[in-house]
């Protein structure tokens, strides 16, 4: 039996949480109940990738009860301890002061290679896009711009090499990596998409390497900036989740990725080209103002790089998912080709 199945057993989980979590909340004496909700449940013979929510009710000495949601992110062979270290770093960085919510790191379990953290509760930006709530989308886009500006302004810790996964910092190696992507597409589709995907990646990698060769500067970035990872917490507070790809890299990667995904999600769900364009521009303008940066030629080129790279990651998702959808991938590939041939900018 795959050991990860233990994390779907209420008694096993209850014992684990009583041991690891209750000491972190001294006002509470016991766990009254818990329910288990899998967000991701990919389990094979010995390998796995799971994200599990535990909705826990805890009781104080006076009998007062309080509900929290604890999430476990566990993977059989990808690093997860670094997620716990990243959350610890961010929790102590001051980023959560002044209207930003972050998950609270609770503990890392080496047996399951799983990080447990207290979730932040609310609806993500994609939810408000799907419901066509323009005003809420606008306000969250501005909040997200400020959040990323504050994140990118953080100083790298002295022990950065012990916290962050180096592969996340490069287009060439960020999971699953350029070589594996090209190989898997070749296995599934022979030569049909291999040349395009390989050529795109090689151009992106070359441009990124040239920039990194020109400066020793690196910024702390989220690494997977998209609307599903931006959470509305209450009326005025915004939250950030999913720190698997967090790393020191070029801050333009977060910007280009977020702009591409924001546009893609709006067009896909609302078919509103004008609104998608307005939100991209609103995000970039708000970020530049918050960060106190000009949009110079260097930044523009890097925005375009990461915007197009993120689009190609979307195309490879459609190609490599179990029930692949090549038509959707082909539309994205054609769009990136046009962007590169016409020098189309990310915000246009």
Which residues in the chain belong to E strands, given as ranges? 28-43, 48-60, 65-75, 100-101, 104-109, 114-118, 123-124, 219-221, 230-233, 237-240, 247-249
For the chain, what is the mean pLDDT?
A: 96
- CATH of residue 266's domain is 3.90.1200.10
Residues 91 and 132 in one domain: no
Mean pLDDT of 70-88: 94
Say whether both 101 and 127 belong to one domain: no
Residue at a domain's end among 118, 146, 169: 118
Helix orientation angle between 273-291 and 252-270, rounded to the nearest 10 degrees: 160
At 200 the pLDDT is 98
Instruction: Report the distance separating Cα 320 and Cα 183, nearest Å.
Output: 11
Q: Are residues 83 and 142 in the same domain?
A: no
CA distance 300 to 295: 6
Tell whether 99 and 221 lie within a shared domain: no
197 vs 177: CA distance, rounded Å = 12
**Banded pLDDT at 295 (limits 50, 70, 90):** very high
Asked if residue 89 and residue 165 are part of one domain, the reply reads no
Contacts of 337 (CB under 8 A, 6+ apart): 196
pLDDT for position 96? 87
pLDDT digits (tens, 9 = 90+) for 181-214: 999 999 999 999 999 999 999 999 999 999 999 9
Q: Are residues 163 and 97 in the same domain?
A: no
The reported pLDDT for the residue numbered 162 is: 94
Please indicate, yes or no, if residue 347 is contained in any of the structural domains: no
More confident of the two residues 326 and 97:
326
Q: Between β-strands 237-240 and 100-101, what pairing exists: parallel, antiparallel or unpaired?
A: parallel
Domain with 70, as residue range(s), is 3-118
Q: Are 78 and 55 in contact (CB under 8 A)?
A: no
Six-digit token pair at 223? 């690494």
Pairing between β-strand 230-233 and β-strand 123-124 as defined by DSSP bridges: antiparallel
Q: Final residue of a domain: which of 98, 118, 138?
A: 118
Strand pairing report for 219-221 and 247-249: antiparallel
Q: ∠ at Cα 50 (48, 51), nearest 5°?
A: 170
| Confidence at 33, pLDDT banded by 50, 70, 90 | very high
Residues 218 and 313 in one domain: yes
Instruction: Output the pTM of the full model.
Output: 0.95
| Mutual angle of helices 178-189 and 194-214, in 10-degree steps | 170
User: The dihedral of CA 194, 200, 203, 205: what is its sign?
Assistant: negative
In this prediction, residue 235 carries a pLDDT of 80
User: Tell me, what CATH number does 20's domain have?
Assistant: 3.30.200
Per-residue pLDDT at 256? 98
CB 232 within 8 Å of CB 140: yes
pLDDT at residue 98 tops 80: no
Q: Which of 118, 149, 181 is the last residue of a domain?
A: 118
**Number of structural domains the chain divides into:** 2
Residue 348 lies in a domain: no
DSSP type of residue 155: P
């Amino acid at each position: 039996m795959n050991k990860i199945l233990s994390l779907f057993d209420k008694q096993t989980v209850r014992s684990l949480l009583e041991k690891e979590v209750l000491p972190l909340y001294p006002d509470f004496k016991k766990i009254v109940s818990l329910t288990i909700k899998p967000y991701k449940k990919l389990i094979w013979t010995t390998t796995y990738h799971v994200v599990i929510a535990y909705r826990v009710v805890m009781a104080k000495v006076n009998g007062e009860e309080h509900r929290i949601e604890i999430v476990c992110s566990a993977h059989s062979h990808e690093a997860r301890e670094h997620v716990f270290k990243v959350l610890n770093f961010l929790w102590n960085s001051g980023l959560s002061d002044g209207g930003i919510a972050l998950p609270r790191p609770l503990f890392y379990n080496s047996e399951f290679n799983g990080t447990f953290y207290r979730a932040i509760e609310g609806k993500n930006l994609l939810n408000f896009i799907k419901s066509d709530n323009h005003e809420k989308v606008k306000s969250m886009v501005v909040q997200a711009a400020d959040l990323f500006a504050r994140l990118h302004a953080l100083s790298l810790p002295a022990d950065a090499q012990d916290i962050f996964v180096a592969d996340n910092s490069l287009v060439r190696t960020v999971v699953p990596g350029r070589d594996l992507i090209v190989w898997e597409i070749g296995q599934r589709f022979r030569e049909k998409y291999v040349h395009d995907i390989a050529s795109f990646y090689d151009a992106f990698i070359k441009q990124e390497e040239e920039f990194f060769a020109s400066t020793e500067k690196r910024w702390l970035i989220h690494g997977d900036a998209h609307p599903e990872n931006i959470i509305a917490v209450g009326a005025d507070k915004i939250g950030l989740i999913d720190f698997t790809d967090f790393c020191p890299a070029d801050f333009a990667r977060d910007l280009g990725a977020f702009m591409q995904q924001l546009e893609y999600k709006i067009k896909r769900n609302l078919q509103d080209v004008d609104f998608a364009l307005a939100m991209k521009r609103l995000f970039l303008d708000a970020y530049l103002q918050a960060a106190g940066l000009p949009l110079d030629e260097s930044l523009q080129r890097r925005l375009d790089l990461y915007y197009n790279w993120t689009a190609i990651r979307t195309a490879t998702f459609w190609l490599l998912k179990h029930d692949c959808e090549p038509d959707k991938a082909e539309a994205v590939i054609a769009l990136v080709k046009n962007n590169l041939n016409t020098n189309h900018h990310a915000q246009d």
